[in-house]
C-alpha cells in the first residue's frame, strides 16, 4: 500500500511540475508584465488572439482618454525565425513596446531598451550561446537586430523566447518595410503604419474600470492579464489536458487507497465485530482506522514527494518543468485528503454491520 501511495505521489509531483513548467514556458513573458489588461480588436478569435489582433491609433487614443486608465500603450506581437551571427537558428517572439513605457522590461544585464536596432532577450537564450552584442538576422528580410540586454529570468510566449524591441522598429518589420541590415531613424520617416497588435492597459490604483463600456466605444475586446494567457498559442489546450489528467489521478488515488483499505478492513472484520460487541463505538473505530491510514498516507506521500522532487531536478533542460512549492503542497494535501476519504468509506461499511452477524459469519 505504501509503495502504491508513494508512486501516486511521484506522479502528482511530476504532473504538477510539468503543469507549472508549461505555464511558465507558454506565458512567462506575459506574467512578468505589470499590465492590468489587454484590449484586442473587436471580434478577434480568442485562440492565439495576440497574433490575430490588429488595433489602430484611434482605438489606442480611446483607451488613453478612458476613465480609470492610468496608462495605455501599443504593443506588437509576432513570432519570427532568426539566425545569430554564428549561424545558430533561434525562434523569437517579438514584443514591440514603448522604450520608456511601463511595458519596457527590467534587465538583469546590459542596457535598457532604446536603440532602434537593439533588443532585450530572455535570459534563457544564454543557453543557446546568445550574449550581449550578438546580432540576430530576421529570416527572409535580412534585418539585423543586436542584443543589448537580458531580461530578469525567463521570458517566453508560446514556448518561444521573447525579444523586446521598440514599437516603431516592430511596426517597421510588421509593415514589411524593414531594410536589410540594421534599421535606422531614417527608415521611420516614410513609415505610415499606425497599427499594433493590442493595447496594453494599466489601471489606476483602486479604480473600478468599466471595460465593457470602453470596449463598446473603442471597438475592442478586453481581457485581464490572467485571461489573456488563453490568447497564447496552445495555452488553453495544454492546461486543460494536464488538469484533466490530474483530476483523474486524484480520483484513481481515492479509489485505489479506498480499495486497499476495504480489503484490509474486511480482513479485520472479526476483530472489529468483537470490539463492537464489547461496546466500542463506530466513532472510535473510525478514528482508530483513520489514524492508521493517516500514518500510512502522510509517511509515504512525503517519501513520494521527495522522490518526485529529485526526479524533477534531474529533468533535461529541454523539458518545460518547474517545481513550485504551492502546487506541490496542494497536490500532496489533496492526495492525503482523498485517501482518507477512501479509507473512511471503507471502514464505515464495516462498522455499520451488526456485530452478532459479523461474529457468526466467522464460524
**Comparing C-alpha atoms, which of 166, 49, 149, 26 is closest to residue 103?**
166
- DSSP helix/strand/coil, 191: coil
Give yes or no for a contact between 42 and 49, defined as CB atoms under 8 angstroms apart: no
Residue the block writes with cell 504551492: 326
Rounded CA separation 219/362 (Å): 77
**Comparing C-alpha atoms, which of 53, 25, 62 is closest to residue 229?**
25
Instruction: State residue 361's pLDDT score.
Output: 53
Instruction: State residue 71's pLDDT score.
Output: 94
Phi, psi of 39 (to 5 degrees): -105, 120
Residue 144, strand partner residues: 137
In whole angstroms, what separates CA 105 from the centre of its chain?
20
User: DSSP of 260-272, one letter per residue?
Assistant: HHHHHHHHTHHHH
- DSSP helix/strand/coil, 194: coil
Residue the block writes with cell 501511495: 5
Q: Any residues with CB less than 8 A from the CB of 306 and at least 6 apart, and which?
A: none
**What would the grid cell of residue 78 be?**
509576432
Instruction: State residue 307's pLDDT score.
Output: 92
Give yes or no for a contact between 101 and 170, defined as CB atoms under 8 angstroms apart: no
**Comparing C-alpha atoms, which of 160, 167, 173, 170 is closest to residue 233?**
160
3-state helix, strand, coil in the chain (%, to 5): 50, 20, 30
Instruction: State residue 363's pLDDT score.
Output: 47
Q: Please report, for the chain, the start and end positions of each structural domain, with discontinuous segments joined by +.
A: 1-23+236-359, 33-233
**Comparing C-alpha atoms, which of 62, 60, 92, 86 is closest to residue 173?**
92
From first to last of its 363 residues, what are the pLDDT tens digits of the chain? 888 889 888 988 888 888 888 888 888 999 999 999 999 999 888 878 998 999 999 999 999 999 999 999 999 999 999 999 888 999 999 999 999 999 999 999 999 999 999 999 999 999 888 999 999 999 888 999 999 999 998 899 988 999 999 999 999 999 988 888 999 888 888 888 999 999 999 999 988 899 999 999 999 999 999 999 988 888 888 888 888 887 888 778 777 777 777 777 777 777 777 777 777 777 887 788 788 888 988 999 999 999 988 888 888 777 788 887 887 888 788 878 877 887 787 777 666 666 665 566 544
**What would the grid cell of residue 252 be?**
484513481
Cα–Cα separations (whole angstroms), residue 187 to 87, 99, 119, 165, 182? 26, 18, 17, 15, 10
Per-residue pLDDT tens for 33-67? Answer: 999 999 999 988 887 899 899 999 999 999 999 99
Per-residue pLDDT tens for 154-164? Answer: 899 988 999 99
Q: Any residues with CB less than 8 A from the CB of 291 and at least 6 apart, and which?
A: none
Count of residues in the chain: 363
**Comparing C-alpha atoms, which of 168, 190, 349, 163 is closest to residue 264?**
349
Instruction: State residue 328's pLDDT score.
Output: 81
Amino acid at each position: 500500500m505504501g509503495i502504491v501511495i508513494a508512486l501516486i505521489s511521484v506522479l502528482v509531483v511530476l504532473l504538477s511540475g510539468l503543469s507549472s513548467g508549461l505555464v511558465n514556458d507558454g506565458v512567462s513573458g506575459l506574467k512578468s508584465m505589470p499590465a492590468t489588461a489587454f484590449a484586442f480588436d473587436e471580434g478577434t478569435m480568442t485562440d492565439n488572439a495576440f497574433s490575430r489582433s490588429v488595433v489602430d491609433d484611434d482605438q489606442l487614443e480611446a483607451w488613453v482618454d478612458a476613465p480609470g486608465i492610468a496608462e495605455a500603450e501599443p504593443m506588437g506581437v509576432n513570432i519570427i525565425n532568426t539566425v545569430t551571427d554564428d549561424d545558430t537558428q533561434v525562434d523569437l517572439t517579438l514584443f514591440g513596446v514603448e522604450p520608456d513605457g511601463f511595458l519596457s522590461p527590467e534587465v538583469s544585464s546590459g542596457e535598457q531598451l532604446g536603440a532602434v536596432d537593439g533588443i532585450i532577450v530572455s535570459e534563457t537564450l544564454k543557453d543557446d550561446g546568445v550574449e550581449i552584442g550578438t546580432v540576430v538576422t530576421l529570416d527572409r528580410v535580412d534585418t539585423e537586430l543586436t542584443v543589448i540586454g537580458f531580461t530578469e529570468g525567463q521570458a517566453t510566449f508560446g514556448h518561444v523566447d521573447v525579444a523586446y524591441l521598440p514599437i516603431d522598429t516592430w511596426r517597421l518589420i510588421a509593415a514589411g518595410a524593414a531594410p536589410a541590415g540594421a534599421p535606422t531613424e531614417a527608415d521611420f520617416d516614410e513609415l505610415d503604419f499606425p497599427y499594433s497588435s493590442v493595447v496594453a492597459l494599466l489601471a489606476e490604483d483602486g479604480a473600478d474600470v468599466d471595460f465593457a463600456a470602453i470596449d463598446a466605444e473603442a471597438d475592442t475586446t478586453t481581457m485581464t492579464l490572467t485571461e489573456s494567457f488563453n490568447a497564447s498559442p496552445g495555452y488553453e489546450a495544454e492546461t486543460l489536458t494536464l488538469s484533466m489528467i490530474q483530476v483523474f489521478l486524484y480520483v484513481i488515488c481515492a479509489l485505489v487507497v479506498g480499495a486497499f483499505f476495504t480489503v484490509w478492513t474486511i480482513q479485520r472484520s472479526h476483530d472489529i465485530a468483537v470490539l463492537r460487541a464489547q461496546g466500542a463505538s463506530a466513532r472510535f473505530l473510525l478514528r482508530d482506522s483513520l489514524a492508521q491510514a493517516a500514518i500510512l498516507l502522510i509517511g509515504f506521500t512525503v517519501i513520494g514527494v521527495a522522490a518526485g522532487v529529485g526526479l524533477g531536478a534531474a529533468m533535461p533542460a529541454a523539458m518545460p518543468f518547474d517545481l513550485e512549492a504551492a502546487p506541490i503542497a496542494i497536490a500532496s494535501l489533496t492526495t492525503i485528503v482523498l485517501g482518507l476519504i477512501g479509507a473512511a468509506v471503507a471502514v464505515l461499511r464495516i462498522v455499520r454491520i451488526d456485530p452478532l452477524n459479523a461474529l457468526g459469519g466467522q464460524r
